Amino acid sequence: MIQRTRGVQSICFTEAPFIMSSASVVGKKERQGPLGKKYDLYDTENLFGKKTWEEAEGMMQKHACRLALEKLNYAPEKVRYLFGGDLLRQGIATSMGIEGLQIPFFGLFGACSTSGEALALAAMSVAAGYGEHMLAVTSSHFGTAEKEFRFPLSYANQRPLSSHWTVTGSGAFLVGNKRSNVCIPEITVGKIVDYGFKDSQNMGACMAPAAADTIERNLLDLGREADEYDRIITGDLGYVGQSILFDLMRKKGIDIKKNHMDCGMIIYDQNSQDTHSGGSGCGCAAVTLAAYILPKIQKGEWKKVLFVPTGALMSTVSFNEGESVPGIAHGIVLEHC
Amino acid sequence: MIQRTRGVQSICFTEAPFIMSSASVVGKKERQGPLGKKYDLYDTENLFGKKTWEEAEGMMQKHACRLALEKLNYAPEKVRYLFGGDLLRQGIATSMGIEGLQIPFFGLFGACSTSGEALALAAMSVAAGYGEHMLAVTSSHFGTAEKEFRFPLSYANQRPLSSHWTVTGSGAFLVGNKRSNVCIPEITVGKIVDYGFKDSQNMGACMAPAAADTIERNLLDLGREADEYDRIITGDLGYVGQSILFDLMRKKGIDIKKNHMDCGMIIYDQNSQDTHSGGSGCGCAAVTLAAYILPKIQKGEWKKVLFVPTGALMSTVSFNEGESVPGIAHGIVLEHC
């Protein structure tokens, strides 16, 4: 058997799987943001023809999956397994959204790191020969997330400056063994990292230690310097989390200031869109990857990127019981090929 | 590359991974049940030294993982990846429980089918050479589940006869490439199946169609007759779900009455323990597998078993919005070797 493991947490695929297709679906605020024209589909009502936010979020996943398949003229039957998740209790957006596709399904939860988790498992499954095509899909929705984690929208409560704005969006990725311009040569699976932060309105601080841990581990496992990546792209640390990440990396003797980018910081215009620390949610990293990052790698503008979606493992129950908010981050290496 | 897929949803592993070790941790009611003396660890307080049910559930996962490792004198560092989940919103029992082990982690959600999902991914990862040892762990807790899905315990509300009793328990499984008496030669990954049932107090009815679908698919994919299995063991259909499963299978022309068993029906004594339709929860199938099923396969009493944990993909949010409760079931073939 070919040994594919490398270091403590990483896998180097003998035959790197490809991201053969992707699609992004977003809401009104994302459409109005700096990347607005790059998304495949948007709905200014944020409801996608449905009556509840949860159904709408499910609908976004369905649209994203169907669009990713349509770009290759593929039917859902071509997909062997689907890996997906969202932020909601019991992953209902995903189960409502993908049910109609009737693809054998692995349900995931990794908070906002889920797009990394889904891509990792899809790549592992393709590289192992468990099927030719896998779908990875995640979503988040401002309406469902505020209801799940914070306050009813009609309260119109004030948000601290360290808080994030949950992205209304879904990104789907078809990972397969047929050549495209972007492959996944390596992955680094993250551990839970908990510095004891308890402030769920400062998720950047909760997630930055996990991002730092996974980035360092990726470099150690693969014997690589940080500047070998054109970009190291975290999911949704935001402005607060980025400054903590820089501090933590400096202490590790690693400088990523020149090539770091955060999806949560580029998805909205901080000045005009009132989004405080930045965007967040499973959809944040996913739609930014589909609409902005992948096209740059496809064109060869970026040759090698470390994509690190970051998740804050919190719930209202654990928050109310005084528990901390641990973080997790998975590293996906994306290469122009 | 070796093609390992078979049929529409199944994988036949070229080198079948082994269940090298397992452990079960339960609460008071499970200890008092018919399998009571077979479990590795129990706590009659159901709190495992913690102050909240959620922490207690996390603690059960930690104990189960540590016990499974200790049986082989393994340190957590020996484990490459951990696949785990529970029923709670944002999987907090798992993230609190396994954090201390510091094993790279894939968070899962498949309702009560999660033990099957975790075993499937662990087996896929070992068989592909992504590591020598993987941990699969799941849990449920009566106290956390009632809080999450139903009513505060102090209401002491009446339970309909079709309802289940959530098992307080956690099962952990070390899947690896070193020979033991039980291997996983094949798996069948389930699809979401929704017959439109909306009664969350009748989960057996919600899950039975998914179990029927996965069992039929397993037999079709592998070209097998139902009676080639010594037992076909569903997770937690209970008495109500079993009768529906028999009806559905009969319509498919498959008779599984002789060799069907349901973990939810054997974990409690229906007459003396007041558990109505039977046990349920991620922990139900997991502890029954660890404490009762695996020993029988190890001894060769059963040569070939199809283990089918069943999940009801429901949440209070989707329930309150009038949504149905879809089901999912994953099939794990277990063989004496």
pLDDT one-digit tens code per residue, B240-268: 999 999 999 999 999 999 999 999 999 99
- Cα A208 from Cα A212, distance rounded (Å): 6
Residues A250-267 have pLDDT tens digits of 999 999 999 999 999 999
Chain B: closest CA distance from residue A135 (Å): 14
- Cα A135 from Cα B266, distance rounded (Å): 37
Whether B1 sits inside 8 A of A129 (CB atoms) is yes
Mutate to test the interface with A, among B59, B81, B88, B92 (most CBs of A within 10 A): B92
Does the CB of A83 have a partner CB in chain B at under 8 Å? no
What residues of A are in contact with residue B16 (Cβ under 8 Å)? none
CB atoms within 10 A of CB A130: 21
Kindly identify which residue of chain A lies nearest to residue B1, measuring between CA atoms.
A129
Kindly identify which residue of chain B lies nearest to residue A52, measuring between CA atoms.
B321
Whether A95 sits inside 8 A of B1 (CB atoms) is no
Mutate to test the interface with A, among B106, B119, B186, B328 (most CBs of A within 10 A): B106
Mutate to test the interface with A, among B52, B140, B192, B328 (most CBs of A within 10 A): B192
Does the CB of A148 have a partner CB in chain B at under 8 Å? yes
Residues A126-148 have pLDDT tens digits of 999 999 999 999 999 999 999 99
**Average pLDDT over chain A, rounded to whole?**
96
Are B125 and B134 in contact by the 8 Å Cβ rule? The answer is: yes
Specify which residues B23 forms β-bridges with.
B172
- Cα B221 from Cα B5, distance rounded (Å): 9
Mean pLDDT of successive 10-residue stretches along chain B, which has 337 residues:
77 97 98 98 97 97 98 98 97 96 98 98 97 98 94 85 96 98 98 94 95 98 97 97 98 97 97 95 98 98 98 94 95 97
Tell whether the torsion through CA atoms of A239, A245, A247 and A253 is positive or negative: negative
Are B139 and B61 in contact by the 8 Å Cβ rule? The answer is: yes
- What separation, in Å, do the N-terminal and C-terminal C-alpha atoms of chain A show? 26
B contact residues 188-227, partner A, Cβ 8 Å cutoff: 189-192, 194
The pLDDT value given to residue B2:
55
- Cα B281 from Cα B279, distance rounded (Å): 7
Are A120 and A181 in contact by the 8 Å Cβ rule? The answer is: no
Whether A105 sits inside 8 A of B328 (CB atoms) is yes
Q: Is the pLDDT of residue A29 over 70?
A: yes
Whether A11 sits inside 8 A of B191 (CB atoms) is no
The pLDDT value given to residue A1:
45
B contact residues 15-34, partner A, Cβ 8 Å cutoff: 15
What residues of B are in contact with residue A315 (Cβ under 8 Å)? 88-90, 92
Residues 6+ apart with CB under 8 A from B118: B83, B84, B85, B108, B136, B137, B138, B173
> Residue A321's Cα: distance from chain center in Å?
28
Q: What single string gives the DSSP state of each residue in B211-235?
A: HHHHHHHHHHHHT--GGGSSEEEES
- Cα B289 from Cα B171, distance rounded (Å): 8
The pLDDT value given to residue A213:
98
**Average pLDDT over chain B, rounded to whole?**
96
What residues of B are in contact with residue A321 (Cβ under 8 Å)? 52, 54-55
Chain A: closest CA distance from residue B304 (Å): 23
Q: Where are the alpha helices (DSSP H) in chain B?
A: 28-31, 53-70, 92-98, 114-127, 142-149, 203-222, 238-251, 263-266, 270-273, 282-288, 294-298, 316-320
